[in-house]
Amino acid sequence: MIEVLVVDDEESVRKALSQTLVIEGFDVITAANGREALDSIRADWQGVVITDINMPVMDGMELMREIRSIDADLPVIMLTGHGDVSIAVEAMRNGAYDFLEKPFSSEVLLETVQRAHEKRLLTLENRKLREEVEVQSRPGPRIIGNHADMKKLRDTLNHIKDTPADVLIHGDTGCGKELVARYLHSHSKRSDRAFVAINCGAIPENLIESELFGHEAGAFTGAGKKRVGKFQHANGGTLFLDEIESMPMVLQIKMLRVLEERKVEPLGGNQQIPLDIRVVAATKVDLKELSDKGEFRLDLYYRLNVVQVHIPALKDRREDVPVLFEHFVWAAANRYGSEVQALTAAQRQQLLAHDWPGNVRELRNLAECFVLLGGERAFDSLLKTGTATNVITLAEQVSRYEEMILREVLARHKGRLKNAQEELGLGRKTLYEKMKKYDLDKQAFKEGGEE
């Protein structure tokens, strides 16, 4: 739903404009003066401002200057009387989107607001794309993929990267949970500090407490000297706890205290060390289900689950397989100083047909084998796994491509079927039938608002 902020010191004008806009489906906010209006303005707001020029406290011109200092691209429509036209023209030179001279018709008002909103959405989309290109061009880990879930994942990580919130990553084995954690760290303001990774399932139970919290000399048999734990080593940076579900229950209690107090006390010590740290935990299972079974502390689950991100399995985003494979091939070729072969049509079919039980890790290994041993031997080993077929029929290829396009268009238009129809050149009934065929729900693509 399109938001419109109406600013006018006359209550009757505010009500009249609001009624006209609400009847047409707009979401209207009102303010009696510029100062009050500024409370509703933020840099990423998707709405449009309609403001009178002559108002007490803060007039329309000053309000527009304040709005432009927050976001120079936010569209402001000025309302003018006959004698204010010259002022309105000056306002447009200074950045106003348009002006409406009183009295104006409802049709002119609605058309102007609609155009301003479309321009606003385009501006925000371009801004978002530029930010994404900038982030993806920086040195360090990259999250590659055009599937809607991967775009959502990148958006979430970029939104929270500089907050202190702990993060819980959920995904199958081999889908890239540590890569996501490293991406979050390397693109945050903590990037110049340590990234410390520990696999909770790979360390013996009698050693993991010392690994995490450290110990003083003589704290237990065999502790000949002081040891700095992973928490302290990651101070100022990021601690990545993989396979958090494997952490012993007795240690989960101590972990919860550290996370809540942001202090750690080494074994055998009496002094608590303050921590400035972000904790990123990863799991391949549903921790809530484990908690319900009494196999994981519920309070620790809620403490870790401040922000949860899910990494989809590779088989659920097959359209990303070719671009990921190409990325891994070029990386391997650069590392080994080898030439890059071109994929054959049959090999490309095999990439799309394979179920990828090992997820991204399996795909990366295939790319390495492709570079080192050649395409024939690499893809021969893929066929021997028994999860790929030699041939995908034309109908299957068309069906997968059609589903991929539908997902992309619906995601781009945030589930708005009318816009998707126009871009795809489909009738409404045909679009509904295809969405039903591929089990696509428009609500899954919406980010709020109605169609």
Segment holding 359, helix H or strand E: helix 359-373
User: Which CATH number is associated with domain 148-312?
Assistant: 3.40.50.300
| Per-residue model confidence (pLDDT) at position 436 | 86
Average pLDDT over the chain, rounded to an integer? 86
Mean pLDDT of 343-364: 87
Highest mean pLDDT among 124-138, 154-168, 318-332, 401-415: 154-168
Q: Cite the residue boundaries of each domain of the chain with CATH code 1.10.8.60.
A: 315-383
pLDDT value at 139 more than 70: no
| Per-residue model confidence (pLDDT) at position 399 | 74
Token pair of 374 as six digits: 């050649």
Residues of the chain above pLDDT 90, percent: 43
Contact present, 120 and 47 (Cβ < 8 Å): yes
Top pLDDT among 334 and 138 is at 334
The structure's pTM equals 0.60
| Per-residue model confidence (pLDDT) at position 88 | 74
Q: Cite the residue boundaries of each domain of the chain with CATH code 3.40.50.300.
A: 148-312
CA gap 66, 58 in Å, rounded: 10
| Per-residue model confidence (pLDDT) at position 92 | 85
CATH superfamily membership of 3-128: Response regulator (3.40.50.2300)
CATH of region 315-383, choose from 1.10.940.10, 1.10.8.60, 3.10.350.10, 1.10.1040.10: 1.10.8.60
**DSSP-based three-state secondary structure for 307:** strand
Residue 387: pLDDT band (50, 70, 90) is: very low
Which range has the worst mean pLDDT, 133-147, 283-297, 329-343?
133-147
Mean pLDDT of 406-426: 86
Architecture of the domain whose range is 394-445: Orthogonal Bundle (1.10)
- pLDDT tens-digit readout, 75-87: 999 988 766 777 8
Q: What is the Cα 406 distance to its own chain's centre?
A: 20
Mean pLDDT of 420-431: 88
